[in-house]
Amino acid sequence: MDETGSIPDDAPDGMPPDEPESGPLRRCIVTGERLAKETMVRCVVGPDAVIVPDVGAALPGRGLWLTSRRDIVATAVKKRAFDRAARRSVTIPADLADRIELLLVRRCREAVGLARRSGKAVAGFEKVGQAIRKGGVGLLVAASDGADGGRHKVAAMAPGLPVMDQLNAAELGAAFGREHVVHGAIGAGALAARLRVDAARLAGFRAPNGPAPTDEGPHRA
């Protein structure tokens, strides 16, 4: 909505100036589509009028919600969707999509690490196989840069189980306290469910087998 109270021609049809922060659905500021909020990426306007990604949906302020895809972020920047949704001029970091990707990577790594520390995760081909045979696995984990043959062998042991393959071997290793991990399994439950959702969000920003962003510098697509 602009200063005259009119919705711009290129705004999603019928998109209101404000979306209430309640209920299970949120409206994407680019497409206008209403989606489950846990599958989307939330941003807020910081005190200095800079757009801040909030992948955990915990920061104060009205949320500006996006479909979790790198191209959607690019479109939001190009078409000034953040300005329209915030109803003010905002500053957008040039590497916003990279920042979102890095935050999602961290969130996935932290969840895997928490599962490991709580005894709900194992790493290594043999241990994964044992966990599958024992039962109770909710999510398989495969390094994005691992060999396809090993991934297919693990998946074949548990047809139908979802596979998270957005993290590379070094990132999985950091989560498991090792140098690198190629195969892992997460026990069924809330952490596995959270990882499935966050991995799907990360997939919208990370090309398969692509380079990873690091704390030392953002990933460039």
Contact present, 137 and 177 (Cβ < 8 Å): no
- Determine the pLDDT at residue 44: 97
Q: What angle, rounded to 10 degrees, do the helices at 96-117 and 70-78 form?
A: 150
By C-alpha distance, which of 98, 36, 99 is closest to 65? 36
Question: What is the Cα–Cα distance from 200 to 40, expressed in whole angstroms?
Answer: 10
pLDDT of 1-18, one tens digit each? 333 333 333 444 334 445
pTM over 0.85: no
How far apart CA 12 and CA 29 sit, in angstroms, is 7
Q: What domains are there in the chain, each with its CATH number?
A: 25-94 (3.30.1230.10), 99-203 (3.30.1330.30)
Residue-wise pLDDT for 112-147, tens only, equals 999 999 999 999 999 999 999 999 999 999 999 998
- What is the per-residue pLDDT for 157? 84
Residue in this structure with the two tokens 């190009």, named with its chain if needed: 78
DSSP-H helix ranges across the chain: 70-78, 81-86, 96-117, 125-134, 148-157, 169-176, 190-203
CA distances from 69 to 33, 147, 163 (A): 13, 26, 19
